[in-house]
Amino acid sequence: MPDTANLGPPSLLRRLAAMVYDTLLVIPFIGVTIAAATAVEMWLKGAGSTEYYQMHPQLVQALSLACVTVFFTAFWRKGGQTLGMQAWRVKLVDANGDVPGTGRCLLRCLAALASLAPAGLGYWWCLLDKRGRYWHDYLSGTHLQLLPKPAKTRADAD
C-alpha cells in the first residue's frame, strides 16, 4: 500500500547515515559468508589445519557482491527498507509508490555499480537532480522517499 504522506526525497545526510548503518550490518554478513566458503573449500580440497590457505580473490569479490545484492534485495523486497533506512525514515518505492518487485530490486543493486564506477558520480547526481534521484533510480524505475515521523501515542507521552 502506498504511503499517503510523501515528504519528498531524503537529504544527502540522511542517505549517508542510512548507508553507514547498512554498511555496518552487511560487512559481518560478508565476513561470515566468506569464512563459511573458505571452510567448505578447504574441506573439499582436503587442506590440513596447519597448511596456509587463501581463497581466490575473484571468488571473494563474487561472494561479497552476492552478499550485498542478497542483503539489499531481500530488505527492499520485503518492505522497501533496510534496517538503516528504517532508522532514518527512508523508503524505496517504485513509480506507483509501492514496494518494488524482486526484478527492480536486483536491477537497482546491479545498476548501483554503474553509479559507483565513475568516481561515484551516479550517487552525487542526487544533488543536481530536481527529484533527488540517483542514476540507478532512473535505470530501475525506483526512488527514495522520506517518510513522516511516526505519530506519538499516549504511551509515548507518559
Q: What is the mean pLDDT of residues 9-26?
A: 95
Residue 1's pLDDT is what?
Answer: 47
Residue 3's pLDDT is what?
Answer: 46
CB atoms within 10 A of CB 84: 20
Domain extents in the chain = 12-147
pLDDT tens for each residue of 63-112: 999 999 999 999 999 999 999 999 999 999 999 999 999 999 999 999 99
For 34, residues 6+ apart whose C-beta sits below 8 A from its C-beta are 55, 60, 63, 64
pLDDT tens for each residue of 113-123: 999 988 999 99
Question: What are 12's three cell numbers?
Answer: 544527502
pLDDT tens for each residue of 32-65: 999 999 888 888 877 566 666 788 899 999 999 9
Would the pLDDT of 138 be above 60? yes
Residue 155's pLDDT is what?
Answer: 65
Environment class of residue 28 by beta-carbon count within 10 Å: exposed (0-12), middle (13-18) or buried (19+)? exposed
